[in-house]
Amino acid sequence: MKQTTLSVVLEVQPQSADNLSALIGELRHREDKPPPGSSEQYGRLKNGVPVLHFMSLSVFPSADYDPIFVIEANFDGPAGVFWGQLEATLGIELRAMLRCCKKPADQDGPLYLAVTSPDSRVPLAPYLEARTLRPSVFHHGTRGMDRDRILREGELFLATRRVLTQSSPTLANPYRAMTAEQIHANLRAALQPDFPWLDIPAPIRISRIERAGDLARLIIFLFLLLACLSIPGAVIAFISPWQRFLVIFAVLGCVVAFALYLMRAPLEGLGAPSRSGGLTASSLSRRNKLTSLAHPATLAIAVMVLLALYIAVASAIGTALAVLFTGLPVETLWCPTIRVVALGLVSVFLFTIPALVFWLRRLERRDASHDAPPIDSDMMLKMGQREDRIAQNHMGSVVLVKPGVLRTLLFRTGHRGLGLVLRVVATDGYLGSMRTIHFAHWAFVNNGSRLMFFSNFDHSWESYLDDFIEKAHGGLTLAWGSCIGFPPTRFLVLDGASHGRKFKAWARHSMAVSRFWFAAYKDYTVDQIERHARIANGLRQIALTKKEADAWVRDL
Amino acid sequence: MGKGSMTPPASLSSAGWKLKAPHDAQAQGIVVSGFSDLYWAEALFLEADQPGSGWIAALRTVAPITDATAKQVRSAVLAFTCPGLAKLGLDEHDLGTFATPFREGMYQEDRLRRLGDKIDGKWEPTVIPGGPVWGGNNNAQTSGPFKTVHALLLLYDKTEAGVQNWADQLAKTLAPFGVNIVHKLSLNLQPGENKIAREHFGFADGMSQPIPYGDSVVVSNNPSSNNRPSERNPWHGVPLGEILLGHANAHHEKAPGPYVRSKTNRVADLTREGAPEGFLNLGLNGSYMIVRELRQDVAAFWNSLKANAERIQHHDPSATPVTADWIAERIIGRTRDGHLLCPAGAVPPAPDGQPENDVGFLQKDPYGHGCPLGSHVRRSNPRDGLAPDLAAAQTILDAANNHRILRRGRKFGLPASDPYHDDGQERGLLFICLNSDIARQFEFIQQTWVLNQNFATLFDETDPLVGPKGRFTIHEEGKPLRRIVEVETFIRMAGGEYFFLPSIPALDYLASL
């Protein structure tokens, strides 16, 4: 089952911000402490919206903008079903909250008025869907696990514990004398009546179509990126003989490379060299087949093949376009087109990329960072009160994005690339060596002037941020480093988040209180969900080999 | 006591490292040493009933605070809580430069939840009934009597009588200043069986410590090293700034603060170096000291393990090695003499005969067949054990080493004569540790590792030694199913607080307030 992550960002009428926070607070209170006799905590939402994994409602105050109200949702399947279920469950509350928001100035204005007018019964879903933001980068730690399956396999795990428990303090437990294969067979026999779904094969978590789509999107992205980067070189290749072209670009390349060499080191006091945890090919994912590319030889071959493929495809498209515009025959056009495409490609690596990096490095050396962001002690206290109550925690943050053409281009492209790469390589929940994120996403708001981040993660906030600092600082610096006040970065991915204390202070200051937060399976970490899945997958099989059984039984 | 009492003075050091001049004369001795040859100690918890710092000078005439240069015939350590510093005369502005956890104290409501002491207004079973009896802030809302502590004075001597006389002398010295000893613990480090200092359950204590390195400030105390800077120990090396304020730490910076606004009319040797313009560096060569009084229930521990061993043998007649001792070793993760457990039994000793500690878990014991995944040593410092595979081992080890603490605790109370009989005596461990970032080091260990119910993909279990009653699972080689031990609550916190351990110049400054 494919999961969806989205957010709805609505501007709040400034005078109504406190009222909105109070409405969210009331909802939280009602769900947190339901009246005696009614359903369990958050039971209304859990039962009413069976596709929902995690959801939050927050209000972000800002010194630069009016407050925004953000609905963050992570659920199974398409958005339409989710909005329908949510409206049926929390429609009254949500409508009251929407009334605290501004009427959009664009074409959604009439719809807003229709859903917020007194006694309105106009469905909310179309409005919410119209105001939905798609994330720029997102990560799903339990890819392809629908909520029902996570809960079902969790119950199965608890049932295995009950079956394996000693029935009497003085009697021998029959399971203790068994081999792993016998334990499997007996446990399956004992559990099958209560869990008839064990007879059905496990649903496929990532379908071949989804996987092919992810890969195709990444390849198309890389293709377009190369094409764009080769434009300056390709233009010159039209008028320059290839020998002269190569000499000019080699000389330019050397000049830029030398300048970069001189600027490579961090400025005094701004470096944070880290021994490990950077963004390397092998850090992207641990068990993904594609990361066998982490080996330099396979990586080199793969890059060669991809570049050759690029020349072939780009030349074919280029020739076709040339035929269209000039009307000349293909035989006379294909040869010069290949020449322009190939020289353009050479210029990407000889000059364009080094020149962009040089430009970036110049910016980085002059960027100001926010060493001591003001921290509102009242907000801190409210965050502290809400954190560390269940196995997971939640954070939501909004920051300003650094201005400038290069920053914008790099940042947007970097996000798009990172998002596509994550879809392809992060299929087993791991980001680098960390696997503590259920659902996280970044999204640009206000025409890209602000970046929003939401995460539903395991363990404490401190440990989550420390994971980023210690195990995934490279990718994180890429994703967050172009925001105002971020600790000093180098070459887009170095230092940055390795300035641990400064990074934590910056992240904390960007956060708002998670006023309402729902987690559908509050006891299970990502690791635990995967453990349940291994146990369930074993039990779905009629018999295991000795080797399989020995590995399987370790999870019990 | 005098510095000339030993010729030549032996340098004060521990586990192969010491501080170089001038830092050794500035840091308190407890930073580099646990004073292991001074067996007897007294922990005096002080409360000042009126503002002022005059009592510090008087205290220092009777108990000069030991620096980190040379061994002394007896030693003293002095540290302050945040309310204690306010009582001395530090104003709100200066106190604001201290770390937030120190200022808020250990009993801040949300911190109590993170430390597993009090959840939703109820004290957890790992705290003595009614709540702790002492602390720096009186915001703990305890039901019983509560003593506010402003400072902790630790006295170390070679003899029991010596240290007690010394403590009496101090009580007399401090009384005229309105400074009272509101709580007192007699500590000792007497070696037991096999000449090993043991905690009350019978296990060698203080086995694995971080080893600081950094710049030229830390040197090896090995005579052949010629005062060369210490190299980074690959398993236990931490930058000096993890332990001592004012030096580069694991986040590649000198932890900011604490500072005081520079005033010309004070006679003190505080440096401006490392402090922002207009401030003096109060923190340099100081540290944050975490203290928790942990009472141990020896009879509950051994009786519970004996009952568990019997139950397990009924449960599985083939479980021949399972005895109370066998379970106890797995709860700790080491043998009684301090050797780490491994699938083959115990890790062989190092060439010097001491327990070998330069050991990773990932390669030698990935499934916890020797040293269980949830054992106290693995939860307190998982080393590379949380890595998903070998490629990630170095990253995970480096990450774990960003959360180390230097432990300086000692036990209090008499040894139990019969471990299976509850004699009603109070005994336990005065847990003391040093670190520079309380939230990232001490609190992280307690919350994310020790008490985390989901540590290392375990489920619904916490630290079997210091956590509350619950289950503890043990994997064994060749046995398909884990053993399940039902542990009781063996250790209860009776008081605790975060202290600031000032450097000698900082102490001079505080005394001059």
pLDDT digits (tens, 9 = 90+) for B405-426: 999 999 999 999 999 999 999 9
pLDDT value of position A375: 84
Contact B252 A525 (CB under 8 A): no
Residues in CB range of A550: below 8 A, 6 or more apart: A180, B480
**Is residue B355 in a domain?**
yes
Residues in chain A closer than 8 A to B110 (CB atoms): 381, 384-385, 387-388
pLDDT at position A292 over 90: no
Domains of chain A, earliest start first: 1-134 (3.30.70.100), 147-202+525-553 (no CATH), 226-366 (no CATH)
pLDDT value of position A201: 94
Residues in chain A closer than 8 A to B388 (CB atoms): 286-287, 430, 433, 435
Q: Which structural domain range is residue B424 located in?
A: 297-495
Place of tokens 């970065």: A489
pLDDT at position B2 over 50: no
Give the span between the Cα atoms of B489 and B402, in whole angstroms.
Answer: 29
**Is residue B406 in a domain?**
yes
Tokens of B325: 């001792």
**Helix, strand or coil, per DSSP, at residue B19:** strand
Q: Kindly state whether B195 is in contact with chain A, defined as any CB-CB distance less than 8 angstroms.
A: no
pLDDT band at B333 (very low <50, low <70, confident <90, very high): very high
Residues in chain A closer than 8 A to B250 (CB atoms): 500
pLDDT band at B354 (very low <50, low <70, confident <90, very high): confident
Give B268 or B386, the one with higher predicted confidence.
Answer: B386
pLDDT at position B318 over 60: yes
pLDDT digits (tens, 9 = 90+) for B73-92: 999 999 999 999 999 999 99
Contact A183 B480 (CB under 8 A): yes
**Is residue B477 in a domain?**
yes
Q: What percent of chain B has pLDDT over 70?
A: 94
pLDDT at position B5 over 60: no
Residues in chain B closer than 8 A to A170 (CB atoms): 314
pLDDT at position B8 over 70: no
Mean pLDDT of A392-419: 94
pLDDT at position B15 over 80: no
* Candidates A277, A286, A463; nearest CB to B448: A463
Strands B134-135 and B147-148 turn out to be parallel
**Is residue B233 in a domain?**
no
**Is residue B266 in a domain?**
no
Contact A458 B454 (CB under 8 A): yes
Contact B27, B228 (CB under 8 A): no
* Candidates A275, A282, A460; nearest CB to B398: A275
Cα–Cα distances (Å) from B103 to A9, B258, B500, in that order, read 37, 11, 10
Residues in chain B closer than 8 A to A549 (CB atoms): 480
Classify residue B327 by burial, with Cβ atoms within 10 Å: 0-12, 13-18, 19+: buried
Cα–Cα distances (Å) from A418 to A217, A221, A413, B89, in that order, read 12, 11, 8, 53
Of all residues in chain A, the one with the smallest CA distance to B443 is A462
Give B389 or B378, the one with higher predicted confidence.
Answer: B378
Of all residues in chain B, the one with the smallest CA distance to A184 is B480
Tokens of B381: 């410092």
A429-438, B136-145, B323-332: lowest mean pLDDT where? B136-145
pLDDT at position B265 over 60: no
Residue B52 φ/ψ, nearest 5 degrees: 130, 155
Q: Kindly state whether B147 is in contact with chain A, defined as any CB-CB distance less than 8 angstroms.
A: no
A123-127, A216-220, A293-297, B296-300: lowest mean pLDDT where? A293-297
Residues in chain B closer than 8 A to A165 (CB atoms): 484
Mean pLDDT of A477-485: 92
From the CA of A287, how many Å to the nearest CA of chain B? 9
Mean pLDDT of B438-451: 96
Contact A556 B481 (CB under 8 A): yes
Number of domains, chain B: 1
pLDDT value of position A500: 92
pLDDT at position B117 over 60: yes
pLDDT value of position A298: 77
Mean pLDDT of A50-77: 96
Q: Which of B233, B238, B251, B362 is the best substitution to test chain A (most A C-beta atoms within 10 A)?
A: B251
Nearest alpha-carbon partner for B507 in B70, B94, B78: B78
CB pairs under 8 A between A and B: 142
pLDDT value of position A294: 63
* Candidates A179, A271, A528; nearest CB to B459: A528
Of all residues in chain B, the one with the smallest CA distance to A283 is B392
From the CA of A173, how many Å to the nearest CA of chain B? 5
Q: Kindly state whether B254 is in contact with chain A, defined as any CB-CB distance less than 8 angstroms.
A: no
pLDDT band at A166 (very low <50, low <70, confident <90, very high): confident
Of all residues in chain A, the one with the smallest CA distance to B250 is A500
Residues in chain B closer than 8 A to A431 (CB atoms): none
pLDDT value of position A170: 79
CB < 8 Å from A in window 470-489 of B: 475, 480-482, 484
Give A527 or A279, the one with higher predicted confidence.
Answer: A527
Give the span between the Cα atoms of B39 and A324, in whole angstroms.
Answer: 93
Q: Where is B149: in which H helix or E strand?
A: none
A493-502, B34-43, B206-215, B245-254: lowest mean pLDDT where? B206-215
Mean pLDDT of A521-537: 96
| CA triple B198-B199-B200, angle to 5 deg | 120
Contact B399 A462 (CB under 8 A): no
Nearest alpha-carbon partner for B295 in B49, B470, B128, B120: B128
Mean pLDDT of B464-493: 94
A474-478, B55-59, B121-125: lowest mean pLDDT where? A474-478
**Is residue B471 in a domain?**
yes
**Is residue B375 in a domain?**
yes
Contact A221, A416 (CB under 8 A): yes
Q: Which of A431, A489, A554 is the best substitution to test chain B (most B C-beta atoms within 10 A)?
A: A554
First-to-last C-alpha distance (Å) of chain A = 26
Q: Which of B315, B322, B396 is the best substitution to test chain A (most A C-beta atoms within 10 A)?
A: B315
Give the span between the Cα atoms of A345 and A175, in whole angstroms.
Answer: 65
CB < 8 Å from A in window 297-356 of B: 311, 314-319
Cα–Cα distances (Å) from B178 to A382, B48, B84, B156, B175, in that order, read 39, 6, 13, 24, 5
Instruction: Please spell the DSSP secondary structure of A103-137, one letter per residue.
Output: PPSSTTHHHHHHHHSTT--S-SHHHHHHTEE--SE
pLDDT at position A43 over 70: yes
pLDDT at position A538 over 60: yes
**Is residue B371 in a domain?**
yes
pLDDT value of position B319: 79
Alpha helices in A17-119 (DSSP H): 17-32, 43-48, 79-98, 109-116
Q: Where is A502: in which H helix or E strand?
A: helix A500-509
pLDDT at position B193 over 90: no
From the CA of B445, how many Å to the nearest CA of chain A? 10
From the CA of A392, how many Å to the nearest CA of chain B? 10
| CA triple A110-A116-A120, angle to 5 deg | 105
Mean pLDDT of B184-209: 88
pLDDT at position A550 over 70: yes
Contact A178 B250 (CB under 8 A): no
pLDDT digits (tens, 9 = 90+) for A309-341: 999 999 999 999 999 998 899 888 989 999 999
Q: What average pLDDT does chain B have?
A: 91
Contact B315 A277 (CB under 8 A): no
Contact A499 B396 (CB under 8 A): no
Tokens of A481: 């480093």
Of all residues in chain A, the one with the smallest CA distance to B384 is A433
pLDDT value of position B223: 65
From the CA of A73, how many Å to the nearest CA of chain B? 25
pLDDT value of position A140: 95
Contact B448 A166 (CB under 8 A): no
From the CA of B223, how many Å to the nearest CA of chain A? 30
A258-267, A455-464, B483-492: lowest mean pLDDT where? A258-267
Nearest alpha-carbon partner for A504 in B119, B388, B110, B402: B402
Q: What average pLDDT does chain A have?
A: 92
Contact B391 A286 (CB under 8 A): yes
